[in-house]
């Protein structure tokens, strides 16, 4: 069941609707808030748009790096699985 969450980031109040659990939504909001805070320190001014864009870029960079790591791990697992299947078939 979807639930509404009220959020304030960069002085902007938002309502977020999610069917995820409270803990997950709190984690997401906390993560974004932390990234916005980090970006605010890096930008060094109070321009909310620049802070939001920098935070989004940092989150996207992190996501794409982790996605590549995951894909590499899947490829390695697939290769190892195929080798194991060949070894098993060779034993028979």
Helical ranges in the chain per DSSP H: 22-43, 48-91
- pTM for the full model? 0.79
Are 36 and 46 in contact by the 8 Å Cβ rule? The answer is: no
Report how far residue 15's alpha carbon sits from residue 62's, in angstroms, rounded to the nearest whole number: 25
Q: What pLDDT score does 79 carry?
A: 96
Q: What pLDDT score does 7 carry?
A: 93
Report how far residue 41's alpha carbon sits from residue 75's, in angstroms, rounded to the nearest whole number: 38
Q: What pLDDT score does 45 carry?
A: 72
Report how far residue 24's alpha carbon sits from residue 38's, in angstroms, rounded to the nearest whole number: 21
Q: What are phi and psi of 63, to 5 degrees?
A: -60, -50
Closest CA to 35 of 16, 18, 52: 52
Rounded to an integer, the average pLDDT of 76-81 is 96
- pLDDT tens track for 19-75: 999 999 999 999 999 999 999 998 887 789 999 999 999 999 999 999 999 999 999
Are 16 and 30 in contact by the 8 Å Cβ rule? The answer is: no
Q: What pLDDT score does 1 carry?
A: 85
């Amino acid at each position: 069941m979807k639930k509404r969450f009220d959020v304030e980031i960069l002085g902007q109040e938002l309502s977020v609707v999610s069917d995820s659990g409270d803990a997950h939504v709190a984690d997401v909001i906390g993560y974004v808030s932390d990234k916005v805070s980090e970006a605010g320190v890096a930008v060094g001014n109070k321009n909310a748009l620049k802070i939001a864009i920098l935070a989004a870029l940092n989150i996207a960079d992190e996501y794409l790096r982790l996605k590549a790591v995951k894909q590499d791990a899947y490829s390695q697992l697939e290769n190892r699985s195929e080798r194991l299947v060949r070894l098993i078939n060779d034993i028979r």
